[in-house]
Amino acid sequence: MIKKSDSLVFTILLFFLFFLSPGFGFQDTGQEKVELKLKLPKPMFVGTPRNIRSPNLERITGKSRPPFYVPKGTELLSLDKPVTSSDTEPVIGDLGFVTDGEKSGEEGYYVELGPSVQWVQIDLGRSCSLNAVLIWHYHSQARVYRDVIVQVSDDSDFITDVQTIYNNDHDNSAGLGIGKDKEYIETNEGRLIDPRGVNGRYIRLYSRGNTSNEMNHYVEVEVYGTLSK
């Protein structure tokens, strides 16, 4: 004979088996995640730089970035997409370098914009749900770019509906508001920003010089996501 307490235990067990079964998606939002596969350029320097001083710099671990997971179906959206900039006549290189897929740290692969606050902007062509943004400013030398701010909008002028997905301007020297993110040293890994699925057609990236000089540079920016429904 089955006791009442036994059947209760059985019911609880069934309950957990159902909710924890694969595919139910109880532990997240039901969206299957896969590792984001990246093609990294070869490193241009080795070792951990120790001579860089900056008040908002993240702790240097010397470790490589752990795998990053994105919703299944996420793809590279930015390749060869049009790029505009606050500096319409770059000092070196071409704005097209930002999305041409070339990420080498060698000479001839970066675009150089003028000093002070400058931005580049990528037009994805239509509104997308964004799952990862990777930035390589310049990785042939250990340096920190100032006031790295990344925004997403459906407005090409970034006046309305602007969402900030990264801001390491801790003292508001770029004038776009104080950010809580940390400054970091450029490497061949690029900087990975998690936009957490925000929607937008345009991505705008700001900077204000770097620890080596006053200029602003981009080797490549990659934007990963899915087309918005």
Residue 222 interacting with Ca ion (CB under 5 A): no
| Region near Ca ion per CB under 5 A, out of 87-95, 124-132, 139-147, 196-204 | 139-147
158: left (phi over 0), alpha (psi -120 to 50) or beta: left
Size of the site for Ca ion (CB under 5 A): 8
Q: Are 64 and 86 in contact (CB under 8 A)?
A: no
Helix runs in the chain, H state only? 4-19
Q: Which of 186, 195, 196, 194 is nearest to 220 (CA)?
A: 186
Residue of the chain from 41, 74, 97, 131 that contacts Ca ion (CB under 5 A): 97
Of residues 157 through 186, those in contact with Ca ion by CB under 5 A are 169, 171, 173
Q: Per DSSP, what are the bridge partners of residue 35?
A: 69
Shortest reach from residue 169's CB to Ca ion, in Å: 4
State whether residue 98 is helix, strand or coil: helix
Of the pair 156, 173, the CB lying nearest Ca ion is at: 173
Separation of CA 165 from chain center: 8
Q: Convert residues 10-39 into a mask of x (bound to Ca ion by CB under 5 A) and - (unbound).
A: ------------------------------
Binding residues for Ca ion, per CB under 5 A?
Answer: 97, 100, 102, 147, 169, 171, 173, 220
